[in-house]
Structure 1
């Protein structure tokens, strides 16, 4: 009878898939052959991923693991999750982390998990500084804190940029959340220069923002937010959430025709109807035939006085160039429901050169119907009301204009009532 140690690796993986490290350890004790065969699997289950907080004592234990070469060789993924309300001693943690990383020559992925509402940069910086000082060029993936890093923090010196560039030469995946109020051209260019600086080998980029302002940011004098010659030559997966971009910026980000995944959600355009059509047309005319997943959530949650598109979702999974209606188009139907249309996006883009004709065909002429625009109209009315009220100042201030506030409130109530009457009439029919 064949022993476990003699089985093919595929069968071993299936058998051991649900076993705990404790049980795998027991298998190692059966014989020398079993120990030799399964000790690597044991260490893998123990240390993948390895999670630490940023207490000095915890980082010192990580250093001790690195002192054992066999153990260190199995530590590839590290999750850094500080304790809640943990006081961070940066001057102490950075050298300790540096020492620990020096002893871990096979680190591939670093995930910094920080609770929402904290300053993500305070945790990002000591970890990145330690990676750079330890010259850990093996790192292939970084997931930054969801708490958000202030965009202004990426104003790095030439030597700092060089340190990032020389260290992250093998970086393939970056997931980063940036905190902004409203993007300013200078800040955004510096941030995207940082991304380009470490992105020569980058294949997967996820970027999202946390913001407090609903204002549409204004691009630079060149009509964009990215540097003029921006390029990520090997990018295959792009995911953006609530990021200020222009069609020109997206064309730069989508510079590699080998793109496989594009997921754009809640990003802001100055002229949505025209701009999003231009981006989609670029994918069709640029012959992006390798796309396996394509998702655009357009105008979601962000109003504009230049309203020209309802909230709209374009969703494709699979080969978007093949025949059949593989594209799912979802748009609002009233305040609580949705309409779904199945289309072939590749064919629609090939058949229409006019944006109005395209959007009409893609949505079966539903994009201008009152029930499709109702949610967006209410959203715009609400945002306009809030903006007007905020400009009036504090209600108990001596400069507060109560009469004007009453006018603003009455105008909003009138618009909201009209929209809700439309909804009630639709529902009753």
Structure 2
């Protein structure tokens, strides 16, 4: 009678068993005999090498080179880069081409560490990772680390990358500017299969930055996320105006037609998430959400985005009518964060709009999400009420747009109907008016402001709102 053995079980069963075994136990299993080692070698490599977390120090890149030379390169699918803790030894070391001075410093720092890799070694290593699909970075990486690694990818022959994420810390947009030669190298195919791009930036993205996104995302990009942070809005917009009107007599921000280049095109885009960016209406309707992607687009999330020309009520109405005109039948998620983000305008406040038709389908596995163009699909309309409260009502966004567009009415009628007339109420604009008084006071009288305006602020805070009350239904 043959002795019991895992090798006698069907491959499907052994695969299932091995997938539940911890790594250290799988090592012991391979040491039992040559047959076990041969049978479970691929499983072991999948467990160990599918995901790697690598330090950006040259010694770590050198070890990665050894790993790929051993034949496990095809198993590596996900790499997270970190610049700690070894990078603290010499943070100025370059990944792609360390100088002789750096090499000498490295060799004298410790005789036990292996020598640094030769120039462009990371590019050569990447050529042996045919199944590398995801690259991301932790918060310790800076923009220099990111640019060097991304540049190495573009120079390599790896073409399976589907997801690219920048470090979660804010990278200065000014440091992302690329020369024409650098831009050209991204056209060679390393990102032809890129489907997801997530960027964390700080400052004002220029056309150069958007051009780079268009180049690497032109073939397959479906999911674009840019979480930006603008520390000095006035300086940022002034620099934009200078760039757009350096040969013009009038430098009026209302005359800026676009921040995105005319060649910007992401034909396969399905999901878009933008935070704290300056855009124009044409940027959104002509480049980010053009009519030719309406049949595939699924998710739109715009937060704190400032649109030019500076008429928020009209701008966002145009964007919503654009969605309505071209139907966007697969749009299942919409989030526009508008309330409280236009403090310079104190006569009205725009509401936050949100619907997620996937959440409506709670029961029944396999059911498709409700399209937003069904008349019974409700959108949550949320408006700031006073200093702390919120006014919320649920309306059919499709029906509201349909009625206003059919009757040829304008944006004022639309927002009035959508918010039940609350968008211009004293309660909705109260905090914006207080902020405006404080800004004017500080501008004229310094940080402490003018004491004579304090009473005005207190008067606004004491207002009784007979036309608006807190509602949630």
Which TM-score band (shorter chain)?
Answer: 0.7 to 0.9
Cα 1:20–1:2 change in 2 (3 A) is closer
Instruction: Give the 3 Å change call, closer, same or farther, for CA 26–407 of structure 1 in structure 2.
Output: closer
Structure 1: how far apart are the matches of 2:217 and 2:194?
7
1:192 aligns with 2:210: yes
CA gap of 1:206–1:29, structure 2 versus 1, over 3 A, is: same
SS in 2 for 1:422: coil
Q: Say whether the 8 Å CA contact 2:333–2:354 is kept in structure 1.
A: no
> If you compute each CA radius of gyration, which structure gives the higher value, 1 or 2?
2
Q: How does 1:92-107 map to 2 (within 5 A)?
A: 92=98, 95-107=120-132
The alignment partner of 1:339 has SS state of: strand
Structure 1 residue matching 2:65: 3-state secondary structure: helix
Change in CA separation of 1:298 and 1:51 when aligned onto 2, cut-off 3 Å: same
Could you tell me which residue of structure 1 aligns to residue 300 of structure 2? 262
Q: Does the aligned pair in 2 maintain the 1:315–1:329 contact within 8 Å?
A: no
Classify 1:139/1:424 alpha carbon distance in 2 versus 1 (closer, same or farther; 3 Å).
same
The CA deviation at 1:7 is: 6.7
Which residue in the other structure is 1:276 paired with?
316
How big is each residue's C-alpha offset from its partner over 1:368-403, in whole Å with a ceiling of 9 and x where there is no partner?
A: 2222222333344444455x16xxxxxxxxxxxxxx
**1:322, 1:280 → 2: CA distance?**
16
Question: 1:109 aligned to 2:139?
Answer: no
The alpha carbon displacement at 1:205 in A equals 0.8
Looking at structure 2, the residues matched to 421 and 227 of structure 1 have their Cα atoms a distance apart, in angstroms, of: 48
In the TM superposition, 1:51-62 aligns within 5 A as: 51-62=53-64
Do 2:53 and 2:80's aligned partners in 1 also have CA atoms closer than 8 Å?
yes
Which residue pairs with 1:396 in the alignment? Answer: none
Would the alpha carbon gap of residues 3 and 328 (structure 1) be closer, same or farther in structure 2, given more than 3 Å must change? farther
Match of 2:102? none
2:346–2:432 CA contact under 8 A, matched in 1: no
Measure the CA separation in 2 of the matches of 1:158 and 1:326. Answer: 48
User: What is the match of residue 358 of structure 1?
Assistant: 414
In structure 2, the partner of 1:143 is: 165
Within 5 Å, which residues of 2 pair with 1:198-237?
198-201=216-219, 202-215=221-234, 217=237, 220=244, 223-237=257-271
TM-score for the superposition, normalised by structure 2: 0.75
Residues 58-73 of structure 1: pairs in structure 2 closer than 5 A? 58-69=60-71, 71-73=72-74
Aligned equivalent of 1:400: none
Question: Is 1:246 paired with 2:280?
Answer: yes
Secondary structure at the aligned position of 1:67 is classed as helix
Aligned residue in 2 for 1:399:
none
Distance 1:98 1:414, change over 3 A: farther
More moved, 312-321 vs 356-365: 312-321
Distance 1:415 1:232, change over 3 A: farther
Give the secondary structure class of the aligned counterpart of 1:238: strand
2:258 & 2:284 partners in 1: Cα distance? 9
Q: After superposing the two structures, state which structure 1 stretch, 309-318 or 357-366, moved more.
A: 309-318
The offset of 1:315, in angstroms, is 3.4
Q: Matches of 1:139 and 1:263 in 2, distance apart?
A: 25
Match of 1:82 in 2: 83
Q: Tell whether the 8 Å contact from 1:209 to 1:242 is kept in structure 2 after alignment.
A: yes
Structure 1, gaps ≥5 residues long: 390-403
Q: Deviations over 1:253-274 (max 9, x none)?
A: 0121111111111111221111
245 and 25 in structure 1: CA distance in 2 versus 1, 3 angstrom threshold: same
Aligned residues: 402
- 2:396 is aligned, of 336, 344, 351, to 344
> Is 2:143–2:171's contact at 8 Å kept on the other side of the alignment?
yes
Q: Distance in 2 between matches of 1:327 and 1:406?
A: 41
Unaligned stretches of 5+ residues in structure 2: 99-116, 245-254, 359-370
CA offset digits 1:87-122 (Å, max 9, x no partner): 14114287342233233222111102234xx8x321
Partner of 1:417: 458
In the other structure, the counterpart of 1:401 is none
TM-score of the pair, normalised by structure 1: 0.82
